[in-house]
Structure 1
Amino acid sequence: MIERTDAGHSAGRYHDDAPFAEERHRYLRHCAERGATPASLRVKCSGLLWIASRLSPAASEGIDIKALQQIAIERQQALGSAAAAQRVVHIGRPWLRFLGWWREPTVVSRYRSQLEEYVRWMRDERGFTPSTVEQWTRVIGRFLRWCEETDRQLRSLQPEDVDAYFVARARQWSRVSVANIASALRGFLRYAAERGMCIERVAASISRPQLYQQERLPYAPDGSDVQRILADAETDKPREIRDRAILLLLAVCGMRSGEVAALRLDQIDWAGGTLRLFRLKRRQPQIYPLVPSAAEALARYIDTARPLSADPQVFLCMQALVGR
């Protein structure tokens, strides 16, 4: 079973005994088939267990955002974490949509017929995927509701109005979200212009921010991740003794990877507890403190794990290179 955890068969049986087991298994299989990682599935499994245990037996008749938010509040109170509450919504809403149990709030909009017409066009004429149709419908619906709330008419909409929308809402969005929302609005407004619902230059005025490959990756590992990595390297194996010294120079002393790779024995002042580094911008040596934890790891590597060599560089390959 996908929901079975490292705790063994007893955990799997507990999961099977919890409410809505078949619905949870079916959704997790669906996520796995779409490429969800084991770590992601474990997070979804935990969230679904919490949600399922708090749904009524009549949940198939429909769950709205208010009911799901109430479950999220209970999660936050239990764990003392706002992030845990957000995960309940992020995990629960796709699951309920997958089951057909999700109920969107009914909002009467003056642009309802135009939006429904555009949804049919995306689905039937352009062949957009169901997930894209669903996502763009939400994005465009929010924009049209904002137009109503701010008394803006679609037929007289100007590029400045779209700019005002992004200024009002962009603080809530990441760059990737801004790019996706810009694409959705540009597509809808281009469609609307072709049918005389707004002027042409509104869609042309919308440009996506430049996105870069792997920009979703975190700028740096979290502090807890750094501690876990350092703990994993704290062994008596020569390679990991070396790796721990390198990691501490990077994480604690703030050295750059190139500086660590080029570090020489004569740059270390053991008595003074300092490192003498050369940085191109200053074009002269700079003295930096050698933190005791890094000094201890560095000394242990040099004394016990560094291969015997006349090479002045501190960090060497653990095996001699051919021809050297």
Structure 2
Amino acid sequence: MNPGALRPFVEAFTGRLLSLGYTHLTVLGYEAPARHFGQWLQNTKIAVAEIDDNVVRRFARHRCRCPGIRQATRLSIKYVNRARRFVGFLAECGAVTLSEQVPPCPDENEIFAFQAWLRRHRGISERTVWRHGRMVMRLLPALGPDPMQYNAALVRQVILDEGKRSSHAYLKTMTMALRGYLRYLAAHGLCHSGLDQGIPTIPQWRLSALPRYIPTADVERVIASCDVTMPMGIRDRAVLLLLARLGLRAGDIAGMRLDDIDWREGTLRVRGKGRRESRLPLPQDAGDAIIAYLRDARPIAACEQIFLRTVAPHRSLASASVSSIVSLALERAGIDDPPSRGTNLLRHSAATGLLRAGATLDMVGTVLRHRSIDTTAHYAKVDVNMLLQIAQPWPGSVSC
């Protein structure tokens, strides 16, 4: 197909995709909708300057009679989305001006301000900031438009009503988000102070369950399951070694940057919860695996994060992707019924392994970067050797 006046932009678009690391086959898959869109503009006598969201929707709905070797008369959603991406590229180049997004409603403006306050004063991750904003937005219709009218009875009733249609864990997180929102409003004089005390406590036995872990032999099987002849296997092995040796969280892996490693000192800087930074010793095998990844498998990309996606666009891994690496490794290792399938499984296994190797709770807490010793004491439940020393013999039957 002949894209007409859009030909230079199609060439620039495909060049951009190639520079991002897309394969030639994938680039061809994006080039075809772009050329088709240009051909359709010529057929319908629409100028490039007239392209907007309505034009793209018309292109998506048209019954295709354009020249070429296409067999289908209707365009698939995937095909149209690729054409939309090309139109977005045209907007970046300044060739077209797309209609502006609908301005946010007043409630959304207030939520945006609340999220900005969380970033500045609470030190929580961006994922948690987004989640808190979404949860508060869900509660706003029940709370009402005027925060000065909020009272303890209203706040309590809103949470109790949510409890009838939400899970226990979701409700607990929602109370945390609402508590932060009420504190934000009170700090800015937008509501009465102390309303966060009116939020009912969700009952839960803290640290009541046993840590979910797998034996050390199974951890080594999980690490050995990676195919180091492939770039993805080299990356996954480095990720699994860091998780298993240092008990890192998924977010720690996703946010790890190239300058976080001090190769001369053999240490790793980890940015944990609450903007806290810690220096941990970098194990030899984990360090060697990172070097192998940087040398042989990491894509060339202008990205500060160490671990990147293996397919284009080559951007940093998300926390969910890190958890998927663990889940897939468990399947490859033949561990069919693990107690969990995310990164916390290896974190709990690392703590359990340290305790059974003779480490103290203080040492484990330092490696896992716990704020409270009570959190680390959770792992004492699986320290069988220590429990045997303090366990009392069963008295048996006692005569009257």
- Length-normalised TM-score, structure 2: 0.27
Which structure ranks higher in relative contact order (CA pairs < 8 Å, sequence separation ≥ 6)? Answer: 2
